[in-house]
Amino acid sequence: MTSSAPVRVVWSREMLAYDFGHGHPMTSERLDLTIRLAEALGLLTGPDVELVGAQEASDELLQTVHDPAYVAAVHRASADGTPDLSFGLGSNDDPVFPHMHEASAMVVQGSVDSALAVWEGRAEHAVNVTGGLHHAMRSSASGFCVYNDAAVAIVALLDAGAQRVAYVDIDAHHGDGVQAVFWDDPRVLTVSLHETGHALFPGTGHAREAGGLGAEGTAVNVALPSGTGDAGWLRAIDAVVPAVVREFAPDVLVTQHGCDTHLLDPLTHLRVSLDGQRRAAELLHDLAHEVAGGRWLALGGGGYAVVDVVPRSWTHLLGIATHHPVDPSTEVPDEWRSLVRERYGRLGPDRMTDDREARFSPWASGYDPGDDVDRAIRATRAAVFPSLGLDPDHD
């Protein structure tokens, strides 16, 4: 399918304000370095790309997902810096920072505007790397996330007339906040592939978490063992995501591309390469064209290897979304590496690859009951496939 509509990319320098302060993993340097690398590679110019900023989301919009008392608490903390741990504000993970409400609301508006642009045909795809704040709950901040932009964007799609929305989350951490919002809503499929909650925050996302009453099978969780690399991670995606998304037949696909699955990430224990992440983004892009007429909103998320991983991973995502994929053998521009040297006193990576082939054996090739990854996949298929009318052994 081809489209004359542009690809929408959310960005303005004001969005760097979402930053929890010096020493916190969720530094806005991740975003700045990503956009600068994408710009250096020429991905954000041309008539087929629309680069747009965002205004602050209104309280009314935020309250389509978040409790009014929580939104008010964020306003108070943002105005006077006072923590309120009853709402998760002021913890080590979510310290209060200046203009926290304004910065967080801007991320939400960027995702909502993009979702609606895709739904209305004003954009073919849309990318908001500042978004993907998937841990925020209705009444609390959690896991570096203040407002849940993904959930608010999905609600906006439903309110605009979408009958079904599929959300696929490939962050190393379980997409618990989005799952919680739509637990009882059969119109939304939430799929999360992540490191097992037995080893990693938030401790949820087990295969048996499959959706609430009347929405059975619409929460899909693949909890992968620590140490899973490209072959197992991509096999898990292949074994679960296409089947459930095709069967669900969404009007729009929303994806979260936290790149903390990488083997260099300091907070997680998966061992995925940049090349594996790139292949996953290609798969999701192709799936959006196959099942949703190309209506695709891609969001950022986690990723804490600030120089060596995040900018390259999300630049590949931007290249795929804008239909100008970056060849993995491409050399990283000297201007970007010089910027890294000025800021960090060292050179950044020299090419857009980890030199991995990112191969995997498809699920159709057979199940190995002695393999930890295969057992995790099998548990998920057994938990949710029957509720979706799928055969866990053959579909």
Annotated active-site positions, please?
135
Distance CA(110)–CA(130), nearest Å, equals 9
Sign of the Cα torsion 158, 321, 190, 26 reads negative
- Residue 348, C-beta contacts closer than 8 angstroms, at least 6 positions apart: 307, 308, 311, 332, 336, 337, 340, 341
Three-state SS annotation for 256-285: ECCCCCECCCCCCCCEECHHHHHHHHHHHH
Angle formed by the axes of helices 334-344 and 29-40, nearest 10°: 160
Peptide bond connecting 250 to the previous residue in cis, omega within 30 degrees of 0: no
> d(Cα 96, Cα 120) in Å, to the nearest integer?
36
Could you tell me the two tokens for 235? 């096999």
Neighbour count for residue 159 (Cβ, 10 Å): 10
